[in-house]
Amino acid sequence: MRAIEASAVDKEGFPLALKDLDRNLADAAGRDMRTLISAVLSHLGGRKTATAHGYRTRQILTCFGWIPVHYAYIRRAGTSALLSAVGVVSGSTMAARDWVVHCAVLCGSFAKGRALHKKGYG
């Protein structure tokens, strides 16, 4: 807020920094949500179980962007129970996949939609 108040003003007296307010708030909220989701999933997935052989960290794509998830690894399990419970398929959550489809429709191309989502615009 101080940065906005301290920025130059337009002819009406409004801070020029207001033009980027929604983008800056969205970026900050996205960073906070990525941190929160990562912490929650890593806490749930990192619990010690009798059958765990160790721990792994995997990057998954969420609707807020890529996050690291730390989880208990079980040999020959095929997939992490945590990632299955979250609905991770091909490295992304259902919500992330929905955003890719949404972006693809807006862009008229799946490849363009996927690229747009990777930039963080959804």
Instruction: Give the global pTM.
Output: 0.73
Percent of the chain with pLDDT over 70: 91
Secondary structure class of 74 (helix, strand, coil): coil
Q: Which is higher by pLDDT, 39 or 7?
A: 39
Distance CA 101, CA 81 (A): 26
Q: Which tens digits make up the pLDDT trace of 68-85?
A: 999 888 777 677 888 888
Distance CA 46, CA 80 (A): 11
Q: Which tens digits make up the pLDDT trace of 20-50?
A: 888 889 999 999 999 999 999 999 988 777 6
Distance CA 79, CA 81 (A): 6
Structure tokens at 77: 């399990």
Distance CA 33, CA 122 (A): 15
